[in-house]
């Protein structure tokens, strides 16, 4: 990726939504909710604390994360829809 976020920002690729329910009913695009799960694509260098020291981020590229419904800013980079958000918007990392 040619985009590198600054400070405590993270670039996330939203995972695709389910096309069908568990019972096999196809969900139309207008009724789908955007998934709140994604994969971290790139991370910034970290935030600075009160003493001016750089504090590294807890997430890294490749992590699967959960985030809030209204978290982040949607952007399009090289034709791909991505989210840019602060690390504090991420609720947790999903274990593999």
In this predicted model, what pLDDT tens digit does every residue of 71-94 receive, in sequence order? 889 999 888 889 999 998 999 998
- Render pLDDT for 38-62 as a digit per residue (tens, 0 to 9): 999 999 988 888 888 888 888 999 9
Q: How confident is residue 68, by pLDDT bands cut at 50, 70 and 90?
A: confident
Global pTM reads 0.76
Domains of the chain from N-terminus onward: 9-93 (2.30.33.40)
| pLDDT at residue 33 is higher than 70 | no
Give me 28's structure tokens.
């139309």
Both tokens of 86, joined, read: 């602060």
**Cα-flanking dihedrals φ and ψ of residue 31, to 5°?**
-100, -10
> CA 38: distance to chain centroid?
5
């Amino acid at each position: 990726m040619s985009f590198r976020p600054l400070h405590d920002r993270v670039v996330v690729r939203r995972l695709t939504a389910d096309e069908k329910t568990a019972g096999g009913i196809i969900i139309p695009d207008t009724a789908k909710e955007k998934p709140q799960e994604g994969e971290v694509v790139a991370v910034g260098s970290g935030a600075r604390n009160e003493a001016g020291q750089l504090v590294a981020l807890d997430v890294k590229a490749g992590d699967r994360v959960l985030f809030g419904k209204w978290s982040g800013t949607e952007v399009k980079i090289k034709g791909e829809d991505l989210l840019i958000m602060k690390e504090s918007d991420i609720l947790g990392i999903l274990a593999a």
